[in-house]
Amino acid sequence: MNNDPEALLSKAKQLLAGEKAAEALPLLQHAVQLKPNWPDALTELGVALFMVNRDTDALQPLRSAVRLNPRLARANKALGATLSRLNEIEQGVPYLQTAADLQPNDFEAQSNLAVALYGLRRLDEMAAPLQRAIELNPNAAEARYLRAAYWLLLGDFERGWPEYEWRWQSATRPYPKPQLPGPEWNGQPISGKRLFVYPEQGFGDTIQFSRYVPILSERGITPVFVGPPELLDLLGTLPGNFELRPLNGRVNYDLHCSLLSLPRLLNTRLETVPASVPYLRADPARVSQWKSRLQGVGRHGMKIGIAWAGDARHPNDRARSCRLLDFAPLSAVEADFFSLQKGPAAGQTPPDGLVVYDLMDEVRTFADGAAFISNLDLVIAVDTAIVHLAGALAKSCWVLLPHAADWRWLHQRTDSPWYPTLRLFRQSKIGDWPGVFGEVVAALNGTSRKNKGT
């Protein structure tokens, strides 16, 4: 191997520019051996390690590069990005800020800083770098999508909904826009026309925004609404006149639109959110069956359903989901707890002292879940489809939110304009589930005393 460190660095930079970090690594490691205190080589070594997802290994060379040259913008930017990806966002922000200050015309430096500050919910601080990033690259979908989330989080729906259309171009979203024949609806009057309305995201989004289907029918439109099989029976309880079809079936229509574009097309503002609940209903026969099923299960009278994890494929799942072990403080509460958890996380073992009754093998569809939940006194769950189901049914539900909660829960609110029966419990800092559960236990004890008339 060449023993000229500068030649090694030059070749490695070419490889990194071509996204060939694995090939660049041995060259950079050798260059650093030959010239240990060279900030440029240390920086590129850290960048290469970051690119091959060896984040922890990248920290040492990047920290050394910044120590040797604090004004090296690339090193600061890479160190901040690495710390952010290791969920040490607060530690990473000073380095990202330095990089942004040193490179005011670098889109990536401005964008990285905005993303990190958004993750910390330091919204006042993120506005300037985000705006600068968009000025530098107006067609950057990720930055425009972030601005949509920022505006929606603040309740600025007037600007937020149009900007939210950039979601279709985001490389990080797992929901590509379907290529459908016929014209896309742009909000013009179409009374008497058949409008194909399709879901684009998860179960929770479909439940939340299905409330718009009856509004369409009120305007003389015939919605042709499609949904996944797990939701069809439940969605069939929506009021109004519409056609409900399974996904991937043959559908005749005049125009089409996405379910999550309806708030924009129907001009929803914070003060005009259609929040009349329930807009979905449990089947009375199934409710009666679950009532019989739950008789004799438990000891304390108050029945509480709990869910602790969402779909692991969600981009923010690491933050929004917790563990069943985190529910340990609830063992001090006089109530009976029922699992509402599906998926791999359902196999988690309860903490000592917390009895959790698991009947979820008997819940096959959301219609079953609706009947089950209708027989509970309260639902306590992380941000997953369960809370949307409870809210749509007008069931009392407490939502456990991460510090960087999704835009739909707005900023720092304890209530939801979308669901009047929901109460929000938020982390005061990243990862602070103990603080959330402390507040939940205090609220539960207050509820218990109230129910007992003390």
What is the predicted pLDDT for the residue at 449? 53
Quick one: 201 and 165 in the same domain? no
Is there a contact between 180 and 261 (Cβ–Cβ < 8 Å)?
Answer: no
Q: What is the mean pLDDT of residues 189-205?
A: 94
- ∠ at Cα 158 (155, 160), nearest 5°? 65
pLDDT band at 108 (very low <50, low <70, confident <90, very high): very high
Q: Is residue 177 part of a domain?
A: no
235, 339: one domain? no
Same domain, 146 and 251: no
- Tally of domains within the chain: 3
Q: Are 228 and 154 found together in one domain?
A: no
Q: Tell me the average pLDDT across 200-220.
A: 95
Whether 311 and 415 map to the same domain: the answer is: yes
Average model confidence (pLDDT) for the chain? 94
> Does 450 score more than 70 pLDDT?
no
Q: Are residues 244 and 135 in the same domain?
A: no
Whether residue 106 has pLDDT greater than 90 = yes
The per-residue pLDDT for 318 is: 84
CA-based torsion, 321, 326, 332, 336: positive or negative: positive
Residue 317 pLDDT level (bands cut at 50, 70, 90): confident
Percent of the chain with pLDDT over 70: 98
Which CATH number belongs to the domain containing residue 301 in this structure?
A: 3.40.50.2000
Kindly report whether the global pTM for this prediction surpasses the value 0.95.
no
Residue 406, domain member (yes or no): yes
pLDDT tens-digit map of 127-169: 999 999 999 999 999 999 999 999 999 999 999 999 999 999 9
Is 181 part of any domain? no
205 and 317 housed in the same domain = no
Place of tokens 């590509």: 176
Whether 428 and 329 map to the same domain: the answer is yes
Q: Is the pLDDT of residue 259 over 60?
A: yes
Q: Which of 237, 266, 295 is the last residue of a domain?
A: 266
Domain of residue 391 covers: 284-452
**Residue 121: partners with Cβ closer than 8 Å, 6 or more residues away:** 403, 404, 411
What CATH number does residue 88 fall under?
1.25.40.10
For residue 223, pLDDT over 50 is answered with yes
pLDDT for res 131: 97
- pLDDT given for residue 22 in this prediction: 95
Cα 307 from Cα 358, distance rounded (Å): 11
Q: For the segment 13-72, what is each residue's pLDDT rounded down to a tens digit?
A: 999 999 999 999 999 999 999 999 999 999 999 999 999 999 999 999 999 999 999 999
Query: Sorting pLDDT into bands at 50, 70 and 90, what band is 301?
Result: confident
- Is residue 201 assigned to a domain? yes
Q: Which two tokens stand for residue 369?
A: 């879940």
Query: Which positions ≥6 away from 122 have C-beta within 8 Å?
Result: none
* Residue 300: band (very low, low, confident or very high) from pLDDT cuts 50, 70, 90: confident
Whether residue 315 is predicted with pLDDT greater than 90 in this model: the reply is no
Say whether both 17 and 116 belong to one domain. Answer: yes
Q: How far apart are the first and last CA of the chain?
A: 80
Question: pLDDT tens digit string along 368-419?
Answer: 999 999 999 999 999 999 999 999 999 999 999 999 999 999 999 999 999 9
Q: Which residues pair with 379 in a beta bridge?
A: 305, 397
Residue 441 vs residue 449, higher pLDDT:
441
Helices (H), 190-302: 203-209, 212-218, 232-235, 262-265, 284-294
pLDDT of residue 377: 97
In which band, very low, low, confident or very high, does the pLDDT at 454 lie, cut at 50, 70 and 90?
A: very low
Per-residue pLDDT band for 452 (boundaries 50, 70, 90) equals low
Mean per-residue pLDDT, 269-291:
97
Q: What is the pLDDT of residue 171?
A: 83
